[in-house]
Structure 1
């Protein structure tokens, strides 16, 4: 079967639908691992991005997270109200405001990441053999490529 025929087959639609449902289920499972932190996945994602990449403007965060600027503004306002992020002037461009993690934001980002990764580690260790882990590792490469689109 050629790639052209395969791309036109129902398989592509099935994969797309199944992947959408599965990603949603996995996100909900990850969020459920630390319900006391009260953080939505969008908040966790922003905290993680700031922890990994450093301070950023709201527009840069919105673009990186692929959300509308209005949605990012609401997320940032909530994070700021919770004391997890703070705004400060850009050091060289006075027109911009940078968002950065507070100390509490750093602690929350680490805690959220740790609890979710610990859960994933336990499940992977107990439920998957080495061959399945290799397949998941390859799937992660493919999903990363998909996420960059």
Structure 2
């Protein structure tokens, strides 16, 4: 788990099992001013989500290893925090299950478009009160 800087930007959870994709996305988000937690599967993502109530956005691949895939994780997140933005990504065509998310990107995706969407969805105007206090 990453130690968080309280003076940093909004906290984003990136869930991606492909290490290079996860590293590039996390690095780009950090360069854009975000704090980032990284998970390689749904179980790790759920543990980080539970332990970090100030997460402002979830960015998750749909197909991750383990017993909880990205859609199942997004569903669990939305049950606990329906206001939390969730962005799902996949190299595969959507099958309808991704509708639990606020947005979907098909891989390969435009990194700048994802960063811009994350910036928009995690802005103070879009955040619930308990997340605004974390900024």
For normalisation by structure 2, the TM-score amounts to: 0.27
Q: More helix by proportion, 1 or 2?
A: 1
Q: More strand by proportion, 1 or 2?
A: 2
For normalisation by structure 1, the TM-score amounts to: 0.25
Does 1 or 2 have the higher relative contact order (CA < 8 Å, sep 6+)?
2
| Higher-Rg member (1/2) | 1
